[in-house]
């Protein structure tokens, strides 16, 4: 009887356990730390934030509370979280929750889970266990030394007499007495590297560790190499080249000795099955040679590979390195921080096949990929022993079909491969990259018929994933979206660059600030931007007056700033906050913003700026010709004063987010004083410009930055419309004015006018370049034409992303997705159709809370809109309509319900508020 009762009781307990579990909500999803990292190793942040997404369920509309648990092991996490238990927190916040537990240390692996309570206070299961493992956070964690060969003494004079270092091959053998349980390789370089263990590639990273202000910080990378090691003999081998650190791109003006020989720093930490630990350091025992097959490698000039010098098995244990040199050793410099890389490395992301053979002869063949790109070629070419394959690159051919490279300027951008036998060679360069659409091969076996499979394009960019999508009923608008996307891919190569092909490829701050919102719609670049902002902050620290150079990292060292460029220090953090909701980026960069505004003050008299400015760069039809016209016609003082005010205004808003009331008042009052002086200096009582040349950009700056009183503003809007009308409804804007044009016209409710400008076919316009064959965004509105060829101007890249800033308007107003609260906690769904140009458009966006999407089409007189709103958000929806007709929701006449309510019925739209869910609306638009 006793046993029977026990069995009955056990069954009851088991039943209740299952019943309780059945009552629980599904677990949260897509757990990340800090700027979107999923289970990272070598993580940079010992004070992370936690984020998660709620599942898409009928029962889950929002979160009312959460609980995070953090521990040093999975076992403790389940039973007794020893690092942090947040306890139940009444909050709807599911993004960027700050860790408040015990101090975390280098190498530490941390496990965490989260559960949430929904709007009805029902609790979920705990999430899957997630983790992050910290890298080496402090210089003191490193016991290794910088090692490498003295390549400076044997360097070669290259283009413009810059020294070129021979690439190095470095190796170290070591023995392990037991099986390996766990192993981490911590590694970095003054240069770029590729690392191998026992003949295996450790990673597929491209040109790590990346580009930072090397006199301030060098990024380190952590690799899990447990499976690459074995008991007995092992070999660690590294290929090392100049990269950004010791190459021509640093221009010899760097604040560190950039012509010093490249070196590596690595520390292989191994835990063995017998309980012992072994550490292999880079030190005096390493050997090296420069007599390997990669003879030269430079970012601007390409790579030379001699197969006759290949060293079979040099990365394996049985290789004889007795004839190799001993390395030179440097101690770690305590003034240069060694920090784990805080954003994604560059990878081979896409492989493109050649689309056509444009021309061929006995000596050369030209391939067209029909897509401009950044990357390297993968060649598969028949060759004769001793011959040299020459590989050249071009963005566009001259009108006569000849190969054109003049716009690369001094960048040779040429690869060479020297064959060691009669055979088909397969090869791709390792320590360079190119911007190209066309590839020319010469030096191949002339007896063979060229074929399309001779070359592929390996597209390379930072390992960021797509964040949004946009498509419409208009072919050219879709091509514009593609051009924007490819422009971003081509200029997100570890840092945001201006172009990928010529002798520049630099981190221009102005280009970055105009593209940042559009970039974040299209690509998940949260970590990418915050990492580069750290470089901006470190570069500013070189200048006591708060100056921010217009290029970061600052290879020019000319002690110059530019308004509209340095303001990236304020504008980009604000953009990131609004799109992600992450306050950390504001906290990290607030001091930098204050110093930059202080620098603005030193450049102004009575609040009117005299700062240097590149102006409205490459504005079309400038009054001055040649180089003098590159900065456009908008007055330098006008631009400087406008950005001075704008940065002060944003600083006031940022101070409010950070709960700094004194600074809110300080910067708001500064902004108002600048605005008052600005209006007095530059505008007359009729709202017309009275100083400098009247331009579209001058009115756009004043209106978008809210620098005029209401009366003057109304008058200035009319003058802007006159400027646009004078241009036959074409834009006349350069880098600074172009991103403001759609914003201002939108505020003025001139949506139809913006559509007309966007869909213009003739120069200057977005579609003009598409007519000329553009597959990326161009530096100039007329960089190239099919009849005239390249613009004769010196600055002439066919892969510059700045004019792609219109992509923000395409997402926010054509598709109709915009944040009303930071991070899309409250979403605006307000598509603005124009039947003259479009019959449909769709977009989706991965917000911090989940995917939001819209898709609209016009059928006869019906406007049909599909909307998806993610959990833990809400939306204000505006539906274009003849509101005298009924509104349908999911095929039925709309009625207010708990999920969606009508809040306003205007003459031309229905305004609603909606909870998470999927909705189909249908309205009459005529």
What are the residues whose beta carbons fall under 8 Å from the beta carbon of 137, sequence distance 6 or more? 44, 46, 105, 106, 339, 340
Cα–Cα distance for residue pair 563/571, rounded to 1 Å:
12
- DSSP readout, 273-319? TTS-EEEEE-STT-EEES-SSEEEEETTTEEEEEGGG--TTTTSTT-
Q: Is the CB of residue 88 less than 8 Å from the CB of residue 107?
A: no
Which are the catalytic amino acids?
Answer: 504, 779
Angle between helices 661-682 and 696-704 (to 10 degrees): 150
What are the residues whose beta carbons fall under 8 Å from the beta carbon of 151, sequence distance 6 or more? 165, 166, 168, 261, 262, 290
Strand partners, 117: 65, 123
Residue whose tokens read 């677990």: 27
Strand runs labelled E in 590-646:
604-605, 608-609
CA neighbours closer than 13 Å in the CB half-sphere of residue 261:
20
In a 3-state reduction of DSSP, which class is residue 484?
helix
DSSP H/E element including 528: helix 526-540
Cα–Cα distance for residue pair 86/116, rounded to 1 Å:
12
Cα–Cα distance for residue pair 825/587, rounded to 1 Å:
20
Question: What is the token pair recorded at 17?
Answer: 């356990």
Cα–Cα distance for residue pair 48/32, rounded to 1 Å:
10
What are the residues whose beta carbons fall under 8 Å from the beta carbon of 662, sequence distance 6 or more? none
- DSSP readout, 176-197? ESS-EEEEEEEEEEESEEEEEE
Angle at 270 between CA 264 and CA 275, to 5 degrees: 160
Nearest to 88 by CA among 112, 116, 63: 116
Question: What is the token pair recorded at 33?
Answer: 């730390």
Cα–Cα distance for residue pair 519/168, rounded to 1 Å:
37
Strand partners, 174: 234
In a 3-state reduction of DSSP, which class is residue 148?
strand
Strand runs labelled E in 198-254:
200-201, 217-224, 232-241
Q: Is the CB of residue 775 less than 8 Å from the CB of residue 466?
A: no
Q: String of b and e for 812-839 (b: at least 16 CB within 10 Å)?
A: bbbbbbbbeebbbbebbbbbbbbeebbe
Within its chain, how far is the Cα of 271 from the centroid? 36
Angle at 41 between CA 35 and CA 42, to 5 degrees: 85
Other Cβ atoms less than 10 A from the Cβ of 348: the count is: 17
Cα–Cα distance for residue pair 850/56, rounded to 1 Å:
9
User: Residue 859: is it exposed, middle or buried by C-beta count within 10 angstroms (0-12/13-18/19+)?
Assistant: exposed
Maximal C-alpha separation, the chain: 104
Q: Is the CB of residue 210 less than 8 Å from the CB of residue 238?
A: no
Strand partners, 893: 888
Q: Is the CB of residue 297 less than 8 Å from the CB of residue 167?
A: yes
User: Residue 58: is it exposed, middle or buried by C-beta count within 10 angstroms (0-12/13-18/19+)?
Assistant: exposed
Phi, psi at 121, each rounded to 5°: 65, 25
Own/partner long-range contacts of 152-157 (Cβ < 8 Å, ≥24 apart): 152/259, 152/260, 152/261, 154/290, 155/259, 156/296
């Amino acid at each position: 009887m006793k046993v029977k009762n026990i069995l009955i009781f056990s069954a009851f307990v088991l039943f209740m356990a299952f019943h309780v579990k059945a009552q629980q909500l599904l677990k949260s999803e897509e757990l990340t730390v800090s700027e979107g990292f999923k289970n990272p190793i070598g993580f940079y942040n010992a004070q992370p934030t936690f984020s998660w997404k709620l599942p898409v369920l009928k029962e889950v509309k929002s979160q009312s509370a959460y609980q995070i648990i953090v521990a040093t092991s999975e076992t403790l996490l389940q039973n007794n979280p020893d690092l942090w238990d947040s306890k139940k927190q009444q909050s709807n916040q599911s993004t960027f929750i700050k860790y408040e537990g015990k101090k975390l240390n280098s190498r530490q692996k941390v496990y965490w889970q989260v559960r949430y309570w929904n709007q009805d206070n029902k609790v979920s299961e705990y999430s899957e266990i997630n983790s992050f493992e910290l890298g080496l956070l402090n210089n003191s964690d490193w016991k290794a030394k910088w090692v490498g060969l003295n390549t400076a003494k044997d360097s070669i004079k290259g283009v413009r007499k810059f020294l070129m270092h021979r690439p190095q091959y470095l190796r170290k053998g070591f023995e392990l007495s037991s099986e390996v349980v766990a192993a981490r390789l911590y590694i970095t370089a003054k240069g770029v590297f590729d690392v191998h263990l026992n003949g295996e590639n450790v990673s597929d990273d491209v040109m790590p560790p990346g580009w930072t202000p090397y006199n301030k910080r060098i990024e380190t990378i952590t690799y899990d190499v447990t499976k690459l090691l074995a008991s007995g003999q092992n070999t660690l081998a590294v290929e090392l080249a100049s990269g950004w650190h010791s190459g021509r791109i640093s221009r010899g003006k760097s604040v560190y000795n950039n012509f010093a020989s490249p070196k590596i720093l690595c520390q292989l930490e191994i835990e063995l099955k017998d309980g012992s630990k072994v550490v292999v350091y880079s030190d005096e025992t390493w050997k090296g040679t420069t007599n390997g097959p990669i003879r030269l490698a430079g970012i601007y000039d390409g790579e030379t590979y001699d197969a006759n010098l290949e060293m079979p098995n040099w990365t394996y244990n049985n290789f004889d390195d007795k004839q190799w040199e001993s390395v030179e050793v440097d101690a770690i410099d305590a003034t240069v921080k060694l920090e784990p890389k805080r954003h994604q490395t560059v990878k081979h992301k896409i492989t493109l096949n050649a689309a056509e053979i444009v021309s061929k002869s006995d000596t050369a063949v030209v391939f067209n990929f029909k897509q401009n790109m950044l990357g390297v070629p993968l060649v598969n070419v028949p060759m004769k022993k001793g011959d040299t394959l020459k590989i050249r690159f071009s963005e566009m051919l001259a009108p006569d079909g000849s190969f054109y490279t003049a716009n690369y300027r001094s960048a040779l951008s040429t690869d060479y491969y020297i064959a060691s036998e009669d055979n088909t060679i397969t090869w791709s360069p390792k320590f360079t990259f190119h911007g190209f659409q066309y590839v020319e091969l010469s030096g191949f076996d002339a007896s063979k018929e060229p074929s399309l499979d001779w070359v592929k394009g390996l597209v390379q960019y930072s390992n960021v994933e797509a964040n949004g999508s946009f498509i419409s009923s208009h072919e050219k608008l879709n091509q514009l979206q593609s051009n924007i996307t490819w422009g971003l891919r081509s200029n997100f190569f570890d840092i945001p660059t201006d172009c990928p092909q010529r002798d520049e490829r630099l981190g221009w701050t102005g280009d970055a600030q105009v593209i940042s919102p559009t970039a974040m719609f299209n690509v998940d670049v949260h970590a990418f931007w915050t990492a580069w902002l750290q470089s901006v902050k470190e570069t500013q620290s070189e200048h006591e007056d708060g100056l921010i150079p217009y290029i970061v990292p600052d290879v020019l060292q000319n002690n110059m700033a530019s308004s509209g460029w340095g303001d990236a220090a304020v504008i980009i953090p604000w953009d990131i906050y609004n799109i992600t909701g992450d306050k950390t980026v504001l906290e990290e960069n607030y001091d930098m913003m204050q110093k930059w505004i202080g620098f603005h003050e030193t450049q102004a008299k009575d609040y009117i700026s005299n700062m240097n400015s590149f102006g409205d760069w490459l504005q079309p039809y400038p009054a001055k010709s040649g180089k003098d016209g590159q900065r456009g016609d908008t007055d330098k003082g006008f631009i400087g004063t406008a950005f001075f005010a704008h940065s002060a205004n944003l600083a006031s808003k940022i101070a409010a987010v950070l709960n700094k009331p004194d600074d809110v008042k300080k910067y708001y009052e500064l902004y108002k004083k600048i605005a008052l002086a600005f209006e007095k200096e530059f505008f007359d009582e009729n709202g017309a410009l009275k100083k400098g040349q009247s331009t579209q950009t001058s009115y756009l700056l004043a209106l978008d930055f809210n620098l005029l009183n209401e009366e003057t503003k109304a008058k200035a809007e009319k003058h802007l419309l006159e400027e646009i009308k004078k241009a036959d409804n074409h834009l006349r804007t350069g880098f600074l004015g172009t991103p403001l044009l759609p914003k201002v016209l939108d505020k003025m409710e001139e949506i139809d006018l913006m559509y007309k400008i966007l869909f213009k076919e003739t120069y200057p316009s977005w579609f003009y370049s598409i007519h000329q064959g553009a597959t990326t965004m161009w530096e100039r509105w007329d960089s190239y034409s099919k009849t005239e060829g390249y613009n004769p101007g010196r600055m002439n890249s066919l892969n510059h992303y700045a004019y792609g800033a219109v992509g923000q308007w395409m997402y926010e107003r054509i598709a109709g997705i915009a944040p009303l609260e930071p991070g899309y906690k409250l979403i605006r769904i307000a598509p603005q159709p124009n039947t003259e140009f479009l019959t449909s458009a769709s977009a989706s966006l991965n917000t911090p809370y989940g995917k939001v999407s819209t898709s609209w089409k016009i059928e006869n007189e019906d406007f049909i809109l599909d909307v998806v709103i993610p959990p833990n958000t809400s939306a204000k929806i505006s539906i274009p309509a003849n509101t005298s007709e009924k509104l349908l929701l999911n095929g039925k006449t709309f009625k207010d319900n708990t999920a969606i309510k009508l809040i306003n019925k205007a003459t031309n739209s229905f305004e609603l508020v909606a909870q998470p869910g999927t909705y189909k609306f249908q309205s009459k638009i005529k």
